[in-house]
Amino acid sequence: MNITKKEIDSLNAVLTVEIKKEDYQDKVASVLNNYRKNANIPGFRKGHVPLGMVKKQYGKAVLVEEVNKLLQDNLHKFLTEEKLDVLGNPLPKNDTDINWDADDFSFEFDLGLSPQFDVDVKKKAVTHYKIVADDKMLDNQVKTIRKQYGKLIAKKQVEKGDEITGTFTSEEKDIDKSTTITTEDIKGKKQLSALMGAKVGDVISLKTKGLFNDDHDNQKFLGVEHDDAHGLDIEVSFKIEEINTREMAELNQELFDKLFGEGVVTSEKELKEKIKEDAEKQFEQQSDQKLLNDVVESLIENTKFELPKEFLERWIAVSGEKELTEAEAKAEYERSEKGLRYQLIEGKLRSENNLQVSFDELKAYSKEMIKGQMAQFGQTNPSEEELDTIAARILSNQEEVKRINEQLLTNKMLQFFKENAKLKTKEVTYDKFIKEAYE
């Protein structure tokens, strides 16, 4: 057997695999002899069927199967030994022209080669948001806590700041939703005016256009689907079943202990510091995700290289469960091109900077994850033996291993970007972050 590679250009090559009769004849003969021993053909005892008859009936199929096995095994071996960095899989070039009645065969395969390129993570600065909890947010959080732990007092009619429990109905949109709203949820002045002074048992007609502070509240309070929630403009009936106001809880030691445990927080100042600390930890996760997304987009945009587009479109057309038309394959390539580019960029960064995950790291991460889950159920001090046993069970599940591995790889890439990319830190409030980052 002989395999040769001919480069068409820097991104495309053709492999030619020459298979001679001596490469496959012993294996084909062995398989046919086994067929002969086990064949059940009327008129012949088992194991005494003439070899010529077996060859006539099964010879071509066995030949094709064994040559293809030989072909695939040696293709894989060649690509590995030659360290060829290919995209997709080799595509047969002349499979319809093979004469299976011949003794020797020549197969050709198109290869798509991975491009050569450099990655510069410092080429363009990316904003790294530091989200802070401002005084307004802290005051609102304290107010929310005081309301949440406050005393509920029943009322006879609606006033500003009250909670109203009732049922929204509409035949037009098949709405029948029991819910609790506050007057602060209402945006529309006319709708708010209609509710003011209303009593238990009253049925109020309300226009949904501009009713709530956000159209997504139509899902929450009216129970409509997401697509209906945006721009909903109908009339609904709201039957008032209960009116309450909340007497806000006092900021005292009893409340602080209820929130954080005995003696952890002892004053309003410490309460706000604790809220600020917890909030900014959560904000960091959002900031990190935004940073990761932005660095990825920047690398895709600023790392220039060509791809074997025609080869990849052909490969996409035949690699799925269902073969795609040329137009479908082109469309799928357009959708997946950015993802493929980043796979190549990420692969290069991982290889050059040793950003891989070891089994010990997988195990350690699993144990920390287990400890966190056990702590939620009051088991704060599990033994190493317990952790090892549960971790072993988790790591025997390939899907779990894949999920944890991907999470650790993402964490490593994020840390690498934080330490090596060109970043400009910008301190913002949460509201400003949402506005700048997503609007």
Where helices occur in 90-162 by DSSP H, the ranges are 135-148
What is the C-alpha to C-alpha distance for residues 180 and 166, in angstroms, rounded to an integer?
Answer: 6
Q: At 288, is the pLDDT very low, low, confident or very high (cuts 50, 70, 90)?
A: very high
Structure letter (DSSP) for residue 211: -
The CATH class, in words, for 2-113 is: alpha beta
Per-residue pLDDT tens digits for 224-258: 998 889 889 999 999 999 999 989 999 999 999 99
Q: Is the pLDDT of residue 343 over 80?
A: yes
Per-residue pLDDT tens digits for 156-194: 999 999 999 999 999 999 999 999 999 999 999 999 999
What is the C-alpha to C-alpha distance for residues 267 and 258, in angstroms, rounded to an integer?
Answer: 13
The CATH class, in words, for 151-247 is: alpha beta
Per-residue pLDDT tens digits for 88-133: 999 998 777 889 999 999 999 999 999 999 999 999 999 999 999 9
Q: Domain segments of the chain: what residues?
A: 2-113, 151-247, 267-438
Tell me the backbone φ, ψ of residue 381, rounded to 5 degrees: -140, 60
Annotate 356-371 with DSSP letters as a single string.
Answer: ---HHHHHHHHHHHHH
What is the C-alpha to C-alpha distance for residues 248 and 412, in angstroms, rounded to an integer?
Answer: 45
Report how far apart, in Å, the C-alpha atoms of 276 and of each of 86, 135, 266, 333, 422 are.
50, 9, 15, 46, 28
Reported as half-sphere exposure (CB side, CA atoms, 13 A), residue 166 has a value of 26
Q: Is the pLDDT of residue 37 over 90?
A: no
Report the CATH fold assignment for 267-438. Trigger factor, domain 2 (1.10.3120)
What is the number of other CB atoms lying within 10 angstroms of the CB of residue 258?
13
Cβ–Cβ under 8 Å, residues 395 and 365: no
What is the C-alpha to C-alpha distance for residues 203 and 182, in angstroms, rounded to an integer?
Answer: 16
What is the number of other CB atoms lying within 10 angstroms of the CB of residue 436?
13
